[in-house]
Structure 1
Amino acid sequence: MNNRIVVITGANSGIGKAAAKQFAKEGHTVIMACRNIEVSRKTQEEIVTSTNNTQVDLMKLDVSSFESMYQFADEFMSKYEKLDILIHNAAYFNHGAKHTLSTDGIELTFATNVVGPYLLTNLLLDHLKKSDDARILHAGSNIIKHFFDPKREIDFDNLTGEYKSSEKFTVYKMYCQSKMALVMLTFKMAEEYESEGIKVNALQINGAKMSKETLQKVTLGYRMVASIQNLFFRQPSYMANNYYELCTSDRFKDKTGKLFNDKLDVMTPALAESQGFLEEIKQVTGTNKYPAYAQKKVVREKVWELCKELTESNSNNHNIL
């Protein structure tokens, strides 16, 4: 497949931008699905100029909004006959922000990072089925390592409506929970779509250099921490290359329901029982294991059913079913 049709959410900056550029450079048709069209237009023009590929489309998409996703899907399906690659790269992580609900009444981090990928995939499913080699990739995060703590779990009681917990709300904690839920969603999607020949995987991202513009969007305290982290993080093009390999290489053509590390090795679940202090340190600092919590099928089903329930009930409010 020399010319794949690729949708990348959040493709106007960071890894998403670098990935859009790489796919365009290789001659593929790239749809940059971005929330802010004005800001993203410059990125689109930059990619077209640098790659000499005019098949770089910019379409408006807010992954936290059901109505926006329905509008995007309608427009995409009217312009393109199939979809080969869907990369859920967009994510919400506004460090220091207060508890905020999406327009559909879902906590904004979870709405963007979990429910959005669920609904968008379902809306584009028929076009994915038309591909000879359909692949879906979720952008994960090594923040899920917090779930090596056996006491850590997803707080389902505070994903919609008013924040009820006595503990202080932080986007950091919710981001951690959302990325664990996304891994679980990856595994469940792979099972659901296997009969259709659609492959679904996730890549555990362990950081990428932030631009000055991105750093300015976060609180001063976190900005200082991130600036120090930037000294050690790789350029976005490193992970973008991993996106490209996972979505195009024959090496991964038959892989589905997997979580990959930055070396593109398949990660495996840690044992649920404690393995002792030294082994636990290896798990946290290493890149080969992910928390056993991700294997809890009851929780995995709960994530899936919650996404299904939220998208079905809220879509009626927008008259978009």
Structure 2
Amino acid sequence: MIDKIVIVTGANSGIGKAATLRFATEGYRVIMASRNMETSKVVQKEITEVSNNTNVDLMELDVSSFDSIRTFCSDVKAKYPRVDILIHNAAYLNHGEKEYKLSPEHIELSFATNTFGPFLMTHLLADHLEKSQDPRILNACTTNIKNFFDPKRNIDFDNLCGEFRNIRRYSAYKMYGDSKMALLILTFKMAEQFKSRGIKVNALQINRVKLSKETINKLSSVWKVLAWTQNLTNPLPSGMADNYFNICTLDEFSNVTGQLINHKREFIQPSTSEKGIAQLKNIFGSGSYPKYASDSQNAEKIWNLSTKLTKH
């Protein structure tokens, strides 16, 4: 057994489940951080049997709830001597959702789960990560951030606590993309903050993978047909889970921090131009991300808001 402790959030399905299985099969101690304990117990048993690894722990965590995060982090610190790898995989995207949903702390649910939850959890576990000889954090990002190549696209910083919920139209896909862009910006900021403590923080841009039946069933009729069609060619979650594993364990990434990495495990660079042919390469390629993510004013806004809302 490898004496390394890995936390995977959203570990009971999709890429999170596949990543948990990969780490467990390789002999790591894995903590499955999951919200739905009933479903997760079945998955935990399956992974334990398939991997022949009994060191697969299941701990309850709702990443959208700050109280749940605080309880989870306290329990981890009491139970384990350190954390070596932290993977923020859990995400909220309710396909077809048309109503503004708020977290227990009255924060828009996408941002609570995808942005502010990982921010708080990272800070609460930083001391425990620092005890590792090679601490690494990986944030799951998305190709949806490419929407920010549109110069008119902005994060609605003034509406993340439902201030205009009765006035502005709600878009689950915009909130998802915005919250993941915010997470990418925080990735760069946290990498700077934690560099002196030896903690590496990177993000992985997730490409399309096969959707589960449960996810597809949430879609409208037209989107269901499209999803089933795409699933014929979309790769299995295990391929992206291999990227989780490699980025968090290989020596070639041991000193890498503050990077967005694509599905080929290449570093993605900020775009140098967002016009003409260069913009087409930005949109259809996998080598650049929007300049929006590198804007210092955007970084200051999301960092200050994260600090304020999480009180950390």
Instruction: Please indicate, yes or no, whether the TM-score normalized by the shorter chain is above 0.5.
Output: yes
TM-score range, shorter chain: over 0.9
Match of 2:139 in 1: 138
SS at match of 1:137: strand
SS at match of 1:267: strand
Match of 2:84 in 1: 84
Match of 1:316 in 2: none
The alignment's TM-score, normalised by the length of structure 1, stands at 0.94
Match of 2:285 in 1: 286
1:133-212 → structure 2 map (5 Å cutoff): 133-164=134-165, 166-212=167-213
Decide whether the 8 Å contact of 1:24 with 1:56 is kept in 2: yes
Question: Share of identical aligned residues, percent?
Answer: 53
> How many angstroms apart in 2 are the aligned matches of 1:140 and 1:245?
16
Match of 1:102 in 2: 103
Match of 1:304 in 2: 303
Decide whether the 8 Å contact of 1:102 with 1:111 is kept in 2: yes
Letter of the structure 1 residue corresponding to residue 84 of structure 2 = D
Decide whether the 8 Å contact of 1:85 with 1:135 is kept in 2: yes
Shift of 1:164: 4.5
| Runs of 5+ consecutive residues of structure 1 not aligned to the other structure | 314-321
Pair 1:20-2:20 in alignment: yes
Decide whether the 8 Å contact of 1:99 with 1:163 is kept in 2: no
> How many angstroms apart in 1 are the aligned matches of 2:50 and 2:249?
21
> How many angstroms apart in 1 are the aligned matches of 2:168 and 2:100?
12
Pair 1:46-2:38 in alignment: no
Aligned residues: 311
Question: Following TM superposition, where does structure 1 have runs of at least 4 consecutive aligned residues deviating by more than 4 angstroms?
Answer: 164-167
Letter of the structure 2 residue corresponding to residue 263 of structure 1 = K
Shift of 1:207: 1.3
> How many angstroms apart in 2 are the aligned matches of 1:230 and 1:39?
23
1:8-48 Cα shifts (integer Å, max 9, x gaps): 00000000000000000000000000001001101000000
Match of 2:74 in 1: 74
Shift of 1:279: 2.1
1:55-105 Cα shifts (integer Å, max 9, x gaps): 000000000001101111111111100000000000000012111000100
| Runs of 5+ consecutive residues of structure 2 not aligned to the other structure | none
Letter of the structure 1 residue corresponding to residue 282 of structure 2 = Q
> How many angstroms apart in 2 are the aligned matches of 1:48 and 1:114?
30
The alignment's TM-score, normalised by the length of structure 2, stands at 0.96
Shift of 1:165: 7.5
Letter of the structure 1 residue corresponding to residue 279 of structure 2 = E
> How many angstroms apart in 1 are the aligned matches of 2:179 and 2:261?
18
